[in-house]
Chain A
């Protein structure tokens, strides 16, 4: 199993450019999510998906789009990059987000993408 993979690892964009961060998992997880990590703020949820064809906004969705056409893939699109989007982006997946907390069901993280917007 490759787990959760992300590409690219590093990216530099100019303000106004668009791009897609790729995320894939091979664990047949229902739940996938995108976070951004900024110094002193932990990880903040951008968008998430509870299954193929279903996506929703997290805490900081502005400027980002997502789609989930397959169970495996969950790309994150930056529509028009801004310097405020300079961050480290993590994709994560887990089996589910059910209410059964007797199951550990931790989130598995990709290696991250370091994005700089000039």
Chain B
């Protein structure tokens, strides 16, 4: 079964608008962490934001915020005030805390975001 699901293969957003990229996850572990990475066309993987399963507040990093709904097992990335440079692939990933030691960092299939001028 897919541990990380990203249902939006591609998204478009107008420059300066906000956009939400969806991510749902599946785990029976009580302790886990959720990550978002950005991969621009140049290919490198850039870490954006992290949410621990025990964190009560949603994580924020500049224009990025993570809408964490634990009961729904969702960890959506919100990008505010989109910029042309935000055009990239975005990957949601999960690290389980106790289960599957060593193999516990899994990625979703990604969402390609295109920011329109």
Contacts and interface: CB of A to CB of B under 8 A. Distances in A.
A63 B44 CA distance: 25
Interface residues of A, number: 32
**B interface, size bucket:** 20 to 34
A58 B100 CA distance: 10
Nearest to A90: B45
Contacts of B45: 90, 92, 109
A24 to B, nearest CB: 17
A79 interface: no
26 contacts: A31-B102, A40-B109, A42-B4, A42-B108, A42-B110, A43-B107, A44-B107, A45-B105, A48-B102, A50-B101, A50-B102, A58-B103, A59-B103, A88-B43, A90-B45, A92-B45, A101-B33, A101-B53, A102-B54, A104-B33, A105-B95, A106-B35, A107-B35, A108-B47, A111-B44, A112-B43
